[in-house]
Structure formats: structure tokens, C-alpha cells
């Protein structure tokens, strides 16, 4: 799900290295119809889905011209059906934002192995996703490099932390392109500057989230649901080299860390092959060439989005969904040039203040809360920031 994005491309590279073990049987994309058609020619899936229904005809035409037997479909319902259908037993959930929620839940309910790259799905609907996994009986494996690292450092992947003797989880953050800068230096930041991550090649939305540290805030909420850790047990540590992907500290003083070059194929290969391991095509880590590994505290005064994420986690219920919706609106506006970089956090905070959270009950309620939060954010942006 999200085959043409950076995560999808990295996963397909791993899959192509092991044709006897893996097959990309379903490929989906949002609007990149030519790219999706090219992937169909290369991987010959059973099914290809383009989210934009207006592009289905173009997709079908290219598939037929290539002489492929791949079925073509389109629309939001088709994405959900693809995730739940019989054409696959493993689903890589890599659709960006809230748009990936329903397909991720559908895959979980039908017992698939879900490789979770869409952190927004678990941020918005953590209890619903865990319930869906219990119903389906499948596996949930994190693909975010940080959560994948934690998974590797815990006995059994997702144990009871108290019984396992875990004291805290240390999420590493690169600090993004503006590490070390203060608020006055960020007043005139452009989208291209925010998307110029020093270590990782990512899409523009997640790149901006990394620049504001909201990406790390979403990962804090994700770690809570994935591993049953309280907010107090999850600490963010800035590690600019992005070599240690995260750490787990135990009651006996031991700290286990997972290290590797900053390449998403490591986490993807681990999730695809779990509980085994396969070659990911990633260069070996040269410890002698590293020379040093640095760590520093996160600057919550400058990068306020991280603190807002902790606030949403502690509030619980639908508040993380409100946080996510406001962030998506704010980031989209920033990328379009209609909202200053520093106003991203201000708009999110104003939206949280305007819309109190409530107990999370079901998906229908969550969809309504998400829509309402977006409307609040849009209205606040028009009246206060434009």
C-alpha cells in the first residue's frame, strides 16, 4: 500500500532481491499512475489499485498495452478490499497520513501480517488497531526504523514490559535539518529547506514532520501502543548520526541498542523475513569509520510539536487523532507556502485547545473527529494565520 513512495520503493528493492521467497502480488498508489504501471510491468502483480478513480482508465490502458494479466481497480473502497483480499498474506501499510487508516485496519482484521510504516494509523486509532489484530490473529511488525529497533531489542518483540524488566524506551531522533537552531532562526524557513533531511531520503510530508520533530512525537504515541509503554517510559534522545536507531533500558542497568546504516531496507527486510533475516542490500556498518556517536537532549522550546504530541498522548482518547489531523492541515499549508514554518506548532496547539478529546469508541466516530479537527484547523488558519 503506497508502492510508489520512498518506503514502497525500498520494500520492492528488498523483494526483488529474493524472488524465490517474496512476491509483490498487490501494488497500490495514490495518483502516480505512470509509476504504478511501470511497477506492474516489472513485478506483474495480481492486482493494481490507483486511489484516484479518475485514473483507473489510464492504468488499465497501460496494463493492457503491456500484455499483463494484472487486474486494475481504483478508489478508497478498492484499497480496503485489496488489503483484506486473498491476493496477499502480508500488507505493507505505507500510505501517508490518515488516508491509510481504513486499509490498515482491514488488513489487521483479516489476519494479515501487517508491516506498519503508516504511523498515523496507530496514532489515530491505537486501540482500534490492536482490537483488529486480536480479531484477525495476525502479526504487527513496525517498519519505522526506531520502532523496528525497539522490537529487535525486546524479548519476543512486544512483551509485557514490567515482566521483561524494561525501565524505559529511548527513541533516537536525528534532529532533522534544523538541529541546534533556535526559534528566531526558523522564521523564514522554506519548504525546500525543511525537506532537506541530512540523513534520510523521505517524502515531503514526513520530511517536514522530521524538521518540526512532530515525526518523533508521533513515534512516541506509536511506541505507547506498540509496546505498552507509558509516556513517562518513553524518552527522545537526539542522535545526529542516525546510526543507533533506538535503545531499550532494563532494570538491571543493561541498555540494548540496534545499530545500522540509515537505510530503510534494513527494517523492511527484517519485517518481511521475521523471525528470520535476509540480505537487504545495505552496506555493512563500518564502526571504525564512524569515529564518534553523539547524543543530546531534544529542544522542546524550539521544536514545540514534540511537546504537543506528549500532551495528546497523556490526554488519550481521540486527542491524538486531533493532533494528527491538525498537523496534516498545517504541513500541507506550509508546503503550499500559505503558512510559516513556526506557525505549524501554533496551529496544532490552537486546534487542540478548540476541540477537546473524547473517549474513543469506533471508526465512525474517529472519522468524524478527524474531519471536525481539520475544519477547526482550516478555520483557525484563515482567521489567525493568514
Annotated binding site for Mn(2+): 144, 146, 219
Q: Which residue has the cell 515531503?
A: 204
Region class of 176: left (phi > 0), else alpha (psi between -120 and 50), else beta: left
Annotated binding site: 4-7, 118-120, 144-146, 174, 197, 203, 210, 215-216, 219
Distance CA 262, CA 241 (A): 9
Annotated binding site for NADPH: 4-7, 118, 120, 203
Distance CA 328, CA 309 (A): 13
Whether residue 212 contacts residue 344, with contact meaning beta carbons closer than 8 Å, is answered with yes
Annotated binding site for 1-deoxy-D-xylulose 5-phosphate: 119, 145-146, 174, 197, 210, 215-216, 219
Distance CA 379, CA 81 (A): 34
Dihedral angle over CA of 278, 281, 286, 292, nearest 10: -100
Q: Which residue has the cell 473517549?
A: 359
Paired with 141 in beta bridges are: 115
Q: Please choose, from the candidates 144, 142, 88, 79, the residue with its C-alpha nearest in 3D space to the C-alpha of residue 111.
A: 88
Q: What is the SS3 assignment for 317?
A: coil
Distance CA 205, CA 208 (A): 5
Amino acid at each position: 500500500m503506497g508502492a510508489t513512495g520512498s518506503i514502497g520503493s525500498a520494500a520492492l528493492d528488498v523483494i526483488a532481491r529474493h524472488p524465490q521467497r517474496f512476491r509483490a502480488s498487490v501494488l497500490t498508489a495514490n495518483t502516480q499512475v505512470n509509476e504504478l504501471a511501470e511497477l506492474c510491468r516489472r513485478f506483474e502483480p495480481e492486482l493494481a489499485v490507483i486511489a484516484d478513480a479518475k485514473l483507473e482508465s489510464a492504468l488499465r490502458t497501460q496494463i493492457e498495452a503491456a500484455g499483463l494479466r494484472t487486474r486494475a481497480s481504483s478508489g478508497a473502497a478498492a484499497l480496503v478490499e485489496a488489503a483484506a483480499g486473498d491476493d496477499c498474506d502480508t500488507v505493507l501499510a505505507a500510505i501517508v497520513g490518515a488516508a491509510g487508516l481504513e486499509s490498515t485496519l482491514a488488513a489487521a482484521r483479516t489476519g494479515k501480517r501487517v508491516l506498519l510504516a503508516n504511523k498515523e494509523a496507530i496514532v489515530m486509532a491505537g486501540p482500534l488497531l490492536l482490537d483488529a489484530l486480536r480479531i484477525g490473529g495476525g502479526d504487527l511488525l513496525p517498519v519505522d526504523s526506531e520502532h523496528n529497533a525497539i522490537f529487535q531489542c525486546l524479548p519476543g518483540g512486544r512483551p509485557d514490559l514490567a515482566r521483561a524488566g524494561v525501565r524505559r524506551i529511548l527513541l533516537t531522533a536525528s534532529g532533522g535539518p534544523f538541529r541546534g537552531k533556535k526559534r528566531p532562526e526558523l522564521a523564514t524557513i522554506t519548504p525546500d529547506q525543511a525537506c532537506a533531511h541530512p540523513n534520510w531520503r523521505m517524502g515531503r510530508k514526513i520530511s517536514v514532520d522530521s524538521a518540526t520533530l512532530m515525526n518523533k512525537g508521533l513515534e512516541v504515541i506509536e511506541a505507547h501502543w506498540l509496546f505498552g509503554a507509558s509516556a513517562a517510559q518513553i524518552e527522545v534522545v537526539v542522535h545526529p548520526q542516525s546510526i543507533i536507531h533506538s535503545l531499550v533500558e532494563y532494570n538491571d542497568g543493561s541498555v540494548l541498542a540496534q545499530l545500522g546504516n540509515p537505510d530503510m531496507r534494513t527494517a523492511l527486510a527484517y519485517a518481511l523475513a521475521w523471525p528470520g533475516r535476509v540480505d537487504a542490500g545495505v552496506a555493512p556498518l563500518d564502526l571504525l569509520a564512524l569515529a564518534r556517536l553523539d547524543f543530546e537532549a531534544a529542544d522542546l522550546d524550539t521544536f514545540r510539536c514534540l511537546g504537543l504530541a506528549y500532551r495528546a498522548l497523556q490526554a488519550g482518547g481521540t486527542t491524538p487523532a486531533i493532533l494528527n489531523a491538525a498537523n496534516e492541515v498545517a504541513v500541507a499549508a506550509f508546503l503550499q507556502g500559505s503558512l510559516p514554518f513556526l506557525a505549524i506548532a501554533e496551529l496544532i496547539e490552537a486546534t487542540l485547545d478548540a476541540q477537546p478529546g473524547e473517549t474513543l469508541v469506533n471508526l465512525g466516530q474517529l472519522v468524524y473527529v478527524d474531519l471536525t479537527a481539520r475544519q477547526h484547523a482550516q478555520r483557525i488558519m484563515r482567521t489567525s494565520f493568514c
